[in-house]
Structure formats: structure tokens, C-alpha cells
Amino acid sequence: MSHQSFRKKTRKVLTNMDLKFIQSSIKKNNICGKKYLNLSNICEACSHGCAFDISTRREEPLSQHHISYFPEKIAFVHVSCHFAIHHRGLRPDLIEYVEGDSRKFHEEKPPLRKNIGSASA
């Protein structure tokens, strides 16, 4: 009679789809020179998911908070957490810029094109 020892598998075999998901999440975190610190469904400040509005039956998306402008680092946070970061001092580690960087960043940014779909006369 053979005695076969059973043990819990400790290795996870990744499929091709798993690898593609990992690669796409890495690409999402660095888009067009912007570095996103977290995914857009979990708040970086409080670590909770998106809020759900009962009256409209929709998830309220998280807003983008600039941690620094040069280089551009962005975190997704709740609107209430964004207010608390700037006005109540919640998570001071999420502010790595000096006063005036925001103004300088938005002045250097090219203006948005208007009337993208209209024909020019």
C-alpha cells in the first residue's frame, strides 16, 4: 500500500489572461506621462470603494487629486476626501507640491480644443 502525502499547493499557475490583466493594470498606472498611484475604484485616502447613490442608483466616480504636478502624480479619491485633504489636513502625505505649482501647471497646459466635431466654414 503506498502512502501518498497530500499537501496544499503553494504555487499559483498563471494563465495567459492573468498575465494580460497584470500587464494592462501596469499600463493603466502610467498613461501619457501621468503616474496614477491607485486604481479608479478605491480611494487612496480612506481605502474605501466608490460611493453608491441610492436615489440615482449609480456609483459615484472618484475624483482625481494631484499629489504632485512636476512630475505629474495623481491619486483617485472621494470628493469628500479630496476636500478633507486640502482643507482639514487629512493625509498630508498626499500633497507633494508647493504653492503656485497648480497655477504654473495649468498655464503651461495647452487649452482644450472647442467644437471638435463641427465643420469649419
- Location of C-alpha cell 494563465: 15
Domain of 93 in residue numbering reads as 34-108
pLDDT at residue 72 in the model: 92
CB atoms within 10 A of CB 12: 6
- Residue 48 inside a domain? The answer is yes
DSSP state of 100: T
Does residue 101 lie within any of the structural domains? yes
The alpha carbon of residue 4 and the mean position of all alpha carbons in its chain are separated, in whole angstroms, by 48
The answer as to whether 39 is a domain residue is: yes
Q: pLDDT 10s per residue in the chain (121 long)?
A: 555 555 555 566 667 666 666 556 555 566 566 789 998 899 999 999 998 888 988 888 999 999 999 999 999 999 999 999 999 999 999 999 999 999 999 898 777 665 555 555 4
Determine the 3-state secondary structure of 20 from DSSP: helix
Q: Is residue 17 part of a domain?
A: no
pTM, whole model, 2 decimals? Answer: 0.64
Q: Say how many domains are in the chain.
A: 1
- The answer as to whether 76 is a domain residue is yes
User: Does residue 90 lie within any of the structural domains?
Assistant: yes
